[in-house]
Amino acid sequence: MAVSTNYELKMGPATRESFGKALVELGKTNPNIVVCDADLSKSTNTNFFAKEFPERFFQCGIAEANMVAVGSGLSAAGKVAFVSSFSAFVLNKGFEQLRVTAAYPNVNLKVVGTHSGISIGEDGPSQMSIEDLSLACNLPGFTVLSPADDASMKAAIHLAAEHKGPVFVRAGRVKTPLIYPEGTPFRIGGSHELLTGGDLAILANGLLVAEAIKAAVQLDSEGISARVIDLYSIKPIDREAIDRAARECGAIVVAEEHLKDTGIGARVAQVAAETTPCIMEFVGIDNTYAESGTPEAVVEKYGLLAKDIAAAARKALARKK
């Protein structure tokens, strides 16, 4: 799939809302779908499922670790269990249970972390999840997905339900631009090349995919041809797309709403080091926690906008030359 550099990004719903609606769709066709929540159903939007299927909804209270264990037990009993909370809570508070009751026995648990990254805004650093993708990737056997918009989130939830084994899906609080038309195919281990280009490649996921497209449009006006790839599948990652970008472009910028030290930049760099080493720059959160503020102010202060990706691209091209 490729979009034109004249493409206008229209605003869509938050991916947490898309997740909630996808759960209802699944519940109508699969009676084995059950949902566990940690007293945040109105925020995670699992309340949509609770309203439609109250007998299959389990409110576990403010006890994320216990919720993960309950979900793992339901999965072991043959259910397709979705457990959900803010990413910062379900990954950090529930990590031991994710490790022992889900990853180690390889149960069919689906974990959805909402309000991820720093774009949660005013809720502050205690609820900003900047480590979740790395934590999830560190769980053997887990599949990890980070969709960018409404259509890709709905697809990710359906993929998670169909996949046999534990899955983590990352969702956000704020509304996101619409990138994909309904019905766009997605697969575990895949990616989508949204813009073609040969001077460099910008690889992103989640909220920063739209910013990567905006950056490419800006660079195009300067005569720079930037390829944009949505790495929605974090684990397994699309090694072929990364290797092709490294070989054909010779320079890569990775953009993510996550700590640079342990996010997808590290995973992309590992693949490139094993296949085709190339010039790389990284846009993400440096070794810090973010301050509280409006989502717009926070992402600007910590350098997660199109202008920051474009600046990294120019730096990469200067090094390439």
Q: Does the pLDDT value for residue 209 go beyond 50?
A: yes
Tokens of 25: 């769709």
Q: Is 283 helix (H, G, I), strand (E, B) or coil?
A: strand
Query: Look-up: residue for tokens 């895949």?
Result: 190
Q: Does the pLDDT value for residue 294 go beyond 60?
A: yes
Number of H helices and E strands in the chain, helices first, is: 13, 14
User: What's the rounded mean pLDDT across residues 95-100?
Assistant: 97
pLDDT for res 9: 84
7 pLDDT tier (thresholds 50, 70, 90): low
The per-residue pLDDT for range 269-280, each reduced to its tens digit, is: 999 999 999 999
Q: What percent of the chain has pLDDT over 90?
A: 95
31 pLDDT tier (thresholds 50, 70, 90): very high
What is the extent of the structural domain holding 111?
12-178
Q: For 155-173, give one letter per residue: b (16+ CB within 10 A) or e.
A: bbbebbbeeebbbbbbbbb
Residue 185 lies in a domain: no
pLDDT for res 3: 46
Least confident segment among 4-13, 194-203, 221-230, 277-286? 4-13
Domain identity same for 71 and 174: yes
Domain identity same for 150 and 110: yes
pLDDT for res 168: 98
Cα–Cα distance measured from residue 317 to residue 321, given in angstroms and rounded to the nearest whole number: 6
The amino acid present at 59, given as its one-letter code, is: Q
* H or E element, residue 12: strand 10-14
147 pLDDT tier (thresholds 50, 70, 90): very high
pLDDT for res 302: 97
Q: What is the mean pLDDT of the chain?
A: 95
Residue 258 lies in a domain: yes
Domain identity same for 165 and 209: no
Domain identity same for 19 and 162: yes
Total domains in the fold of the chain: 2
pLDDT for res 127: 93
Is 4 exposed, middle or buried (CB count within 10 Å of its CB: 0-12, 13-18, 19+)?
exposed
pLDDT for res 2: 47
256 noted as active-site residue = no
Cα–Cα distance measured from residue 151 to residue 10, given in angstroms and rounded to the nearest whole number: 13
Indicate which residue of 8, 17, 55, 64 is catalytic.
64
Domain identity same for 150 and 213: no
What residues form DSSP beta bridges with 81? 34, 109
Q: Does the pLDDT value for residue 5 go beyond 70?
A: no
pLDDT for res 139: 98
User: What's the rounded mean pLDDT across residues 206-230?
Assistant: 97
β-sheet with 143-145: strand ranges across: 57-59, 33-37, 80-86, 109-114, 167-170, 143-145, 233-235
pLDDT for res 129: 95
Is 54 exposed, middle or buried (CB count within 10 Å of its CB: 0-12, 13-18, 19+)?
exposed
Task: Report the CATH number at residue 200.
Answer: 3.40.50.920
Residue 187 lies in a domain: no
> Which among 186, 191, 188 has a CA at the least distance from the CA of 240?
191
> Does the pTM exceed 0.75?
yes
Domain identity same for 151 and 21: yes
Residue 184 lies in a domain: no
Q: Is 137 helix (H, G, I), strand (E, B) or coil?
A: helix
User: What's the rounded mean pLDDT across residues 297-308?
Assistant: 97
Domain identity same for 82 and 199: no
